[in-house]
Amino acid sequence: MRHCASKVGAVERPGMTIFIPSNRRKFQAFATSTRFAVYFIRITRVDAHMDRIRIVGGNELNGTIPISGAKNAALPLMIAALLTDDTLVLDNVPRLADVAQLQRILGNHGVDITAMGKRPGDREYCGQTLHISAANIIDTTAPYDLVSRMRASFWVIAPLLARMHEAKVSLPGGCAIGTRPVDLLIMALEKLGAEISIDGGYVIAKAPGGLRGARIDFPKVTVSGTHVAVMAASLAKGTTIIGNAACEPEIRDVASCLNEMGARVSGAGTCRIVVEGVDRLHGARHTVLPDRIEAGTYAMAVAMTGGDVQLAGARPELLQSALDVLEQAGVQISVNDEGIRVARNGAGIRPVTVKTAPFPGFPTDLQAQLMALMVGAQGSSQITETIFENRFMHVQELARFGARISLDGETARIDGIAALRGAPVMATDLRASVSLVIAGLAAEGETMVNRVYHLDRGFERLEHKLKACGAAIERISD
Ligand code: UD1
């Protein structure tokens, strides 16, 4: 992502849109003032979906890749800031389009967000520190044009309802990977005493006397449902017991932050979470945990290209199932003080049979990347997707590399081929996009990945990190 702060000039108010005449690109600038009237300006290219990534495949990856903070923890952590009128400070927040979009959404509710600049001694890829203050919530509506771009933004409904006793939130958008309903989120809020109606594409939630603790049993494991239930219950009167809760590490990370803010959440990371409601939460400082999906993605990239890469900051216990699958496939994995080291030297990839499952099972968010890897395996693999019903959109794009994949319901059979050939490709969701990048790194010749907007939503400085390890990869901005 290119930053052009120097060209922008004076910024007078948050959220203003600036046009740069020299290259006619559109930028969003966000300014937040401190009491010293110093402006911190964060600039995000909003037309990055026009960019392409060009890869010339065949290079091994060797070196170190720093792992960023987890997008899937950073987003609910930022949303949790709505629960208190004190400031929540989050360290290690990744610089991603989804984070910038959530800043816009929170800004619309009246939240002030300051992004701290670089400090002496900061590493090149250091995550950003956000100071988030929801001292005055001036608007409890999350409008369609903001929420429709990112599904997780729907989750603001929980803290708004818990603290302000009302919320009006547009039904969500996000990645095109199935219908992704919000019925279980609504069910959880209703159990906590909310009155909910749907009108004109908006979910309207009210709890005039505040939320009340309740028993919530999810009929299926849902990350979004669990986040919403925990956040809402933290300010409810009485005790909430959440059964069949999601155990994902990001749920535990958010619960730890809530506890640092004065909440009383226990059992997060298991399938039974107990929340004792409190009257108010206070400020805290919390560091976002490392991104297990980013780490798993780069591990698969190294498995595919060969080489030897240190995933700095990656935590093996967050992605053990994926590491086990890679070892079955013949990849060398070792854990050290710095993180996880992944190597493949000469040996071919062995085929595997894998089913996605909620944590600690194999993550659906690594399914597309594993499929790309198995395209080059020595034999037939099977991958079954059990979380989302329509998460095979990458299959037809992988076919452009010469992949031989057949689908039977929720199972894909991948017959490995000797060599992938580079191709122009396009993707419709975040994880599918990166599977095409991985395939391109290993393919013979040139690959052009179109619509990289999806990559920018979830992978921080992807092309920089890969290039530093020897990949021939560049972003092309027309
Ligand atoms: C989160 C992650 C996403 C990951 C997914 C599964 C974030 C920002 N996103 O998405 O990267 O792929 O977990 O690990 O953390 N469902 C319902 N009704 C509901 C809610 C969900 O039927 O009200 C279904 C979904 O359609 C899906 C399954 O439950 O089939 C799991 O969804 P969920 O765990 O909620 O995924 P997200 O939280 O949206």
pLDDT by residue, tens only, the chain of 478 residues? 333 333 222 333 333 333 333 333 333 333 333 333 333 333 344 444 578 999 999 999 999 999 999 999 999 999 999 999 999 999 999 999 999 999 999 999 999 999 987 777 776 667 899 999 999 999 999 999 998 888 899 999 999 999 999 999 998 854 444 556 899 999 999 999 999 999 988 999 999 999 999 999 999 999 999 999 999 999 999 999 999 999 999 999 999 999 999 999 999 999 999 999 999 999 999 999 999 999 999 999 999 999 999 999 999 999 999 999 999 999 999 999 999 999 998 789 999 999 999 999 999 999 999 999 999 999 999 999 999 987 898 999 999 999 999 999 999 999 999 999 999 999 778 888 999 999 999 999 999 999 888 899 899 999 999 999 999 999 998 7
C-beta of residue 475 within 8 angstroms of C-beta of residue 452? yes
Task: Please tell me the predicted confidence (pLDDT) of residue 180.
Answer: 66
Q: How many angstroms separate the alpha carbon of residue 220 from the centre of ligand 1? A: 10
390 Cβ below 6 A of ligand 1: no
Mutate which of 157, 180, 291 for ligand 1 pocket (most atoms within 8 A of beta carbon): 180
- Nearest protein Cα to ligand 1, atom 8: 72
Q: Give span(s): CATH 3.65.10.10, the chain.
A: 52-67+290-476, 71-287
Quote the CA–CA distance of 39 and 372 in Å, as a whole number. Answer: 44
Q: How many angstroms separate the alpha carbon of residue 367 from the centre of ligand 1? A: 15
What CATH architecture is 71-287? Alpha-beta prism (3.65)
Q: How many angstroms separate the alpha carbon of residue 287 from the centre of ligand 1? A: 24
226 Cβ below 6 A of ligand 1: no
129 Cβ below 6 A of ligand 1: no
* Neighbouring C-alpha atoms within 13 Å toward the C-beta of 341: 12
Q: Torsion angle, CA of 162/70/436/55, rounded to 10 degrees?
A: 130
259 bridge partner residues: none
181 Cβ below 6 A of ligand 1: yes
What ligand 1 atom has the least distance to the C-alpha of 250? 15
Task: Please tell me the predicted confidence (pLDDT) of residue 470.
Answer: 98
Task: Please tell me the predicted confidence (pLDDT) of residue 179.
Answer: 55
CA distances from 378 to 1, 167, 196, 308 (A): 37, 53, 53, 21
Other beta carbons within 10 Å of 141: 18
Q: How many angstroms separate the alpha carbon of residue 345 from the centre of ligand 1? A: 37
249 Cβ below 6 A of ligand 1: no
458 Cβ below 6 A of ligand 1: no
What ligand 1 atom has the least distance to the C-alpha of 98? 8
Burial 442-463 (b: 16+ CB within 10 A, else e): bbeeebbbbbbbbbbbbbbbbb
Catalogue the active-site residues.
175
364 Cβ below 6 A of ligand 1: yes
C-beta of residue 271 within 8 angstroms of C-beta of residue 250? no
Provide CATH code, domain 52-67+290-476: 3.65.10.10
Quote the CA–CA distance of 459 and 68 in Å, as a whole number. Answer: 8
219 Cβ below 6 A of ligand 1: no
Q: How many angstroms separate the alpha carbon of residue 354 from the centre of ligand 1? A: 19
195 Cβ below 6 A of ligand 1: no
C-beta of residue 194 within 8 angstroms of C-beta of residue 220? no
| Contacts (Cβ under 8 Å, ≥6 apart) of 343 | 302, 307, 308, 309, 331, 332, 334
Q: How many angstroms separate the alpha carbon of residue 222 from the centre of ligand 1? A: 5
- Locate tokens 């290690």: which residue? 92
Quote the CA–CA distance of 352 and 380 in Å, as a whole number. Answer: 8
Can you say how many angstroms the Cα of residue 367 is from the centroid of all Cα atoms in its chain? 15
C-beta of residue 313 within 8 angstroms of C-beta of residue 294? no
What ligand 1 atom has the least distance to the C-alpha of 174? 39
